[in-house]
Amino acid sequence: DGGITQSPKYLFRKEGQNVTLSCEQNLNHDAMYWYRQDPGQGLRLIYYSQIVNDFQKGDIAEGYSVSREKKESFPLTVTSAQKNPTAFYLCASSIDGLAGYEQYFGPGTRLTVT
Amino acid sequence: QKEVEQNSGPLSVPEGAIASLNCTYSDRVSQSFFWYRQYSGKSPELIMSIYSNGDKEDGRFTAQLNKASQYVSLLIRDSQPSDSATYLCAASAYSGAGSYQLTFGKGTKLSVIP
């Protein structure tokens, strides 16, 4: 089955700790994205990557970091510098980022920081 | 600032009726438009894409695009209780550096009453 997997589904952390969210896709898509969703809010773009070893900041990149060492994988690290990290994190992919293609989403990771 | 506006709802329709969901966007150069369905606690699922003016039908769903008015709509015919969800409208536009990004609305919550 082709698709996007995210793990874990739920994650609980204490304030001050860094945490890494996993995103893997086997769709052979070039572009991958990380979004954050807060209650009553639209999706906001954190980072995106069009090709391996390249990524760009989105609208709310502060306090987050990413890497893209393999085409299939785009992990997101939420650092202690992120002021309000509790949110629903969504990873998406598209065939490429160079045209307005559809994006497909993984199941999401719900992060709670206390 | 690119914006996508949706009526937050909730929009309540009786089972079997037509549900009409509306969306406006601010960026005139947006080229691709998408409707996602998001059930409570789940990730968004792509249900319709539309790229040119006019109507596009897929089963019970019809997407309508009017670029002159910067308006996109989604009609759901013969609404079912399983259609109860939040519907997200998204517009894709060129964001520089050879890439396109999606801007999402905050979503319209639809309730189909049996």
Give pLDDT tens digits for B66-108: 999 999 999 999 999 999 999 999 999 887 777 788 999 999 9
The amino acid at B53: N
Kind plus residue range of the DSSP H or E element containing A102: none
Give per-residue pLDDT as tens, A56-89: 999 999 999 999 999 999 999 999 999 999 999 9
Least Cα separation, residue A82 to chain B (angstroms): 22
Chain A positions in Cβ-Cβ contact with residue B88 (cut-off 8 Å): 42-43
SS3 A98: coil
d(CA B99, CA B68): 24
Chain B positions in Cβ-Cβ contact with residue A58 (cut-off 8 Å): 101
* Interchain contact A102–B (C-beta under 8 A): yes
Least Cα separation, residue B42 to chain A (angstroms): 7
Residue B107, phi-psi category: left (phi > 0), alpha (psi -120 to 50), beta (remainder): left
Whether the predicted pLDDT of B1 surpasses 80: no
For residue B57, what are the β-bridge partners?
A: B62
Other beta carbons less than 10 A from residue A113's beta carbon: 18
Who contacts B55 (Cβ-Cβ below 8 Å, separation ≥6)? B62, B63, B64
